[in-house]
Amino acid sequence: MKLTTVFATILIAAGLTPLLSAADEPKPLYDRLGGQSAVAAVVGDLVDRILADTRVNGWFAHAGSTPEATAAYKATLADFVCQSTGGPCEYKGRDMTTAHEGRAVTSDAFGAVVDDLIATLAKFNVPQQEQDDLLQLLGGLKPAIVQE
């Protein structure tokens, strides 16, 4: 009998099945990314990259207009990523369609931001599975963001 089967049998016999089911559940992406400090660091670096990226920084002029605006944008985006990945934060911003309505965001601009995100994730040595999961999650937002 496998060790895992023996362990499961012991937990069931001892009435500790909640431990068994909790151990089998995957951690939320938020936890796998490293929690709030990791999310804030990734978002901070990403926003800095975006503001320096001439392919897209025109769409983010409001976020780069003052240090206070940049800090507020980073905080809002961190809350969005935190909540979207299963973390405890509460995003209080506008929905993605409303936030991008009338901004004429192109597929190329969306792709440039994805490029910046990939570079940020690589900088922080985020494991490939977590990168893929985050990119899939955020990639699903493309129809709400791109309005060409």
pLDDT tens, 40-63? Answer: 999 999 999 999 999 999 999 999
Q: What is the pLDDT of residues 58-108, one digit of tens each?
A: 999 999 999 999 999 999 999 999 999 999 999 999 999 999 999 999 999
pLDDT at 140 over 50: yes
All domains in the chain, ordered by first residue: 27-145 (1.10.490.10)
Distance (Å, whole) CA 144 – CA 93: 15
- Residue 58: DSSP 8-state: G
Distance (Å, whole) CA 90 – CA 134: 18
Which amino acid is present at 34? G
